[in-house]
Amino acid sequence: MKPTFTLSAENPFVGDNIIFTCHSVVQRWPAGYRTSNLTYKFLENTRGDPSDNRLMIHTLTKFDKGKEISCQATDDLHKVSIMSDAVTLDPYYGPNNVELKPVHTVINVTEGTTLGPIHCTAICNPKCLFKWRLNKARTFEDFLSNETLVVANITKNQAGIYRCRVVHHSNTTLLRKTDISVNVQYSPKITLFCINDNRCNPIAYRYSEGMNPKFTLRIESNPDPRLELKFSLLIVSPLSSTKKTNEFSTQLPSLKCDDSGNFTIHARNGIAYGDNRTVNLIIWCKPRDDKTERMIGTKVNTDVNIVMDVVSFPAPNVIWLCMTTFVWTVRKNKYDYRYKISSSIRITSEDGFGVHGIKMSDTLGCFMENITLKPDDILEAPHHFSVGFITDISVIFSWIAGFNGGHRQTFSLLFKTVDDDKWNTRNVNTNDTRTGSTVYYTLDQLKLDMRYHVMVFSRNIHGHRNASFEFKTKVDLTGKSTSTLSIVLACGYPVLFPVIILLVFINRRNEGSKSGSNPTNVQSTKSDEYTVIQRSNPTFTDAYSTLQSPTEPTALQADSSIETDTYDECGTLTDVEVYQTMDNRKSGDIRDEQGSGKTYIVLKDVLG
């Protein structure tokens, strides 16, 4: 009969020891005629230990897969049975070499996108069972029964450790696993915003200039956000911050009153647009001016409109420190902390020029500012002319420089004889001639016994003014003096010569003293030797004709190089008013006759 060939284990695994059993029966006629002894042969057996009707193969390997083994029986009459059915070896194994493709241990994925596909592979025979599990709260839960992991539109709640678990379907105790950490990244979300830990989710916040409020934000974000502060064109990025769990704290930079407005703090981590909070920061400060021109040019009898841009919160009160009759108007600009203040004042005389104090105050403090009003006008014509003779054909002129209009003035002189039509021009070389100072000029090589007409021009950047006068030179008397002296010398009195020189010297000193005590007046004063006729320019009336006398004290004009910013906490500034007199500003003895308004030049300083 055909032998029966069986295997001890239906599904042997690699590494198992297996036993094949071959069984056959001999049929004889008549039945029971004779017992038979059978021997067995195992075919296609390359290894193993046969014993009677059994074949044992030790430690099954993968290489045994596909081997076909059969058996055949032989009786004691040497009759051979037909071959048994073959048994094909197919050892089970696995799971081995469990791997993920692509190979990752940690993977970052953005919320809302798709995770995967991530393939889990293993070497198994037959194919193993795959299951993905997710550990979210220290416990793994079944997530997907598939060897390939795909999570569409993943959320931050689906972050965690994903485990691929592989088991053999024939023996679930044969298990392998591998893990991958999935980090779901998402855009920042601000859930709470507080300032100085006491004002949460504010719309507006007020504080004083110089303080640095602390911002605290509770933010859900992965990865951690970068904080950025934005205001108008100002961007502060990144803000330095400290983290405690999911709360981020940062200190605001030092901001000024004019930075007041809507501030937006952004939380960004590179994913989408992030999140932000906006708060209106109202920064209080004491007043201060904003790029105001502190030097203003103006004219006498002219209204001066002064406009200043001021930064202050709350609104300032503004007053003049001295000119109490003039008031300030305060108007708010677009923003609460910017104001335009204006005042209109009138300068009625030269005394009004100079430094004027302004006091600005609010509830936080005071600020003092100085405005300098400087003259900026056409100048005044020269005046108070005097003429003195040095020789018969040489004269010295002097005059008082008029108001210079706030600018450097220069002088020139035109002269001619009254019978001549041609004017001669001379430039008067002077240094920085101030208002009220005396100017001297010598004119020589004149003609004897001749009337001259003179015009003196003063100029500045705005134009010129002039004044005119006439004088007459002396008649020639030198012939008589020369003949007398010749007679004396011809008579031969050499001994008297030193005495004569001494007498001449004394005589000249006496003449000088007389000239000093009886000065030549510019106002139509007649002399036996010459005549001076003053001619002022009748074509205009000067706005400064009513100004103070040149020798009276005048307010010192502030130098433009002097810094005029002054801070004072609600104090009163001393009026800036320094006086100087115009007396003795030039070399030479200038005398002013009391109450006459006439100025004379003492010729002894010229002749002596």
Lowest mean pLDDT among 133-142, 184-193, 349-358: 349-358
Domain for residue 580, yes or no?
no
Q: Global pTM? A: 0.48
Highest mean pLDDT among 286-290, 405-409, 494-498, 583-587: 405-409
Answer yes or no: do 314 and 270 share one domain: no
pLDDT digits (tens, 9 = 90+) for 260-277: 888 888 898 888 888 999
Domain for residue 552, yes or no?
no
Look over the chain and give the mean of its residue pLDDT values, rounded to a whole number. Answer: 73
User: Could you tell me the pLDDT band of residue 481, with boundaries at 50, 70 and 90?
Assistant: very low
Answer yes or no: do 326 and 442 share one domain: no
We report the CATH number of the domain holding residue 326 as 2.60.40.10
Q: What percent of the chain has pLDDT over 70?
A: 74
> In angstroms, rounded to a whole number, what is the distance separating the alpha carbons of residues 261 and 406?
44
pLDDT digits (tens, 9 = 90+) for 540-569: 334 444 333 333 333 333 333 333 333 345
Lowest mean pLDDT among 42-46, 310-314, 333-337, 448-452: 333-337
User: Could you tell me the pLDDT band of residue 599, with boundaries at 50, 70 and 90?
Assistant: very low
Task: Tell which phi-psi region holds residue 406, choosing left (phi > 0), alpha (psi between -120 and 50) or beta.
Answer: left
Answer yes or no: do 141 and 278 share one domain: yes
Answer yes or no: do 149 and 256 share one domain: yes
Domain for residue 592, yes or no?
no
Choose the final residue of a domain: 516, 535, 554.
535
Answer yes or no: do 368 and 493 share one domain: no
> In angstroms, rounded to a whole number, what is the distance separating the alpha carbons of residues 343 and 306?
5
> In angstroms, rounded to a whole number, what is the distance separating the alpha carbons of residues 422 and 415?
9
Better-predicted residue by pLDDT, 395 or 480: 395
Answer yes or no: do 20 and 145 share one domain: no
Answer yes or no: do 63 and 140 share one domain: no
Q: Is the pLDDT of residue 119 over 90?
A: yes
Choose the final residue of a domain: 503, 535, 567.
535
Choose the final residue of a domain: 229, 261, 285.
285
Lowest mean pLDDT among 80-89, 335-344, 447-456, 460-469: 335-344
Determine the pLDDT at residue 145. 86
Determine the pLDDT at residue 538. 36
Determine the pLDDT at residue 30. 63
Rounded to an integer, the average pLDDT of 434-456 is: 87
Query: What is the number of structural domains in the chain?
Result: 4
> In angstroms, rounded to a whole number, what is the distance separating the alpha carbons of residues 318 and 371?
13
Answer yes or no: do 272 and 320 share one domain: no
User: Could you tell me the pLDDT band of residue 35, with boundaries at 50, 70 and 90?
Assistant: low
Residue with tokens 């020891």: 17
Domain for residue 600, yes or no?
no
Q: In terms of residue numbers, what domain contains 240?
A: 94-285
Answer yes or no: do 138 and 274 share one domain: yes
User: Is-contact 27 37, C-beta < 8 A?
Assistant: no
Answer yes or no: do 255 and 354 share one domain: no
Answer yes or no: do 172 and 279 share one domain: yes
Residue 458, C-beta contacts closer than 8 angstroms, at least 6 positions apart? 379, 380, 381, 382, 401, 402, 409, 410, 411, 464, 465, 466
Determine the pLDDT at residue 151. 92
Better-predicted residue by pLDDT, 154 or 555: 154
Supply 411's token pair: 């002088």
Domain for residue 204, yes or no?
yes
Domain for residue 559, yes or no?
no
Q: What percent of the chain has pLDDT over 90?
A: 11
pLDDT digits (tens, 9 = 90+) for 470-479: 888 887 655 4
